[in-house]
Homo-oligomer: A and B are copies of this chain.
């Protein structure tokens, strides 16, 4: 759980005792590649912290096609927070793009922390805001051509390229898998 502790401490100071209390409310969860952390059409039940692996955030457009909206990496919070908080069903899913190792908090445990740790809400909100901020930025720039988008993806996510199926990356970049394959050939 050490990674989680270090992550939390980036947002504010807590005593060793308080940190132990937080960790005690989390559970380790391993999920296999392609399984879902939360599903489209369902209420998100957990907040997660990624210890190892990559999570893919996406949704189905009105033609039923899968759209990949973001990749979430190690040492990040992962949650569809607005729907988690409001207990509303989400239009998005969060899916393991690789085998993942997480620390998860049930809604009950997550809310309890607000009551038993003073200062937690402040830290929590900063963490959630960063989580949402990271989801919202750094996406591929729609006005750039596919080659540029791919090269920028390599810069922003160098560790992802060899870990997740190419089809997910193509979906993220907004091109067909064939086009991405051609782009990769032309770059060499």
User: Which of B82, B136, B143, B144 makes the CB contact (< 8 A) with A171?
Assistant: B143
Query: Do A129 and B81 touch across chains, with their CB atoms under 8 A apart?
Result: yes
In the complex, how many residues of chain A place their beta carbon closer than 8 angstroms to a beta carbon of chain B? 26
A133 to B128, CA, bound (A): 11
Compute how far the CA of A137 lies from the CA of B24 in the bound complex, rounded to whole angstroms: 34
**A117 contacts B by Cβ under 8 Å:** no
Is B174 in contact with A142, judged by CB distance below 8 angstroms? yes
- Complex CA gap A126/B67 in Å reads 27
Interface bits A111-152 vs B (CB < 8 Å: 1, else 0)? 000000000010001101110110110011111100000000
Q: How far is the CB of A173 from chain B (nearest CB, A)?
A: 7
Known contacts A82-B129, A129-B128, A132-B133, A61 near B174 by CB under 8 Å: no
CB contacts under 8 Å to B, within A81-134, are 81-82, 85, 121, 125-126, 128-130, 132-133
Known: A129-B128, A136-B135. A141 touches B82 (CB 8 A): no
Most B-side CB within 10 Å, residue of A140, A142, A144: A142
Q: Residue of B at shortest CB range from A57?
A: B136
Q: Tell me which residues across on chain B come within 8 A of A67, comparing CB atoms.
A: 141, 143
Would A143 and B65 count as touching, CB distance under 8 A? yes
Is A31 positioned at the interface, with any CB of B under 8 Å from its CB? Answer: no
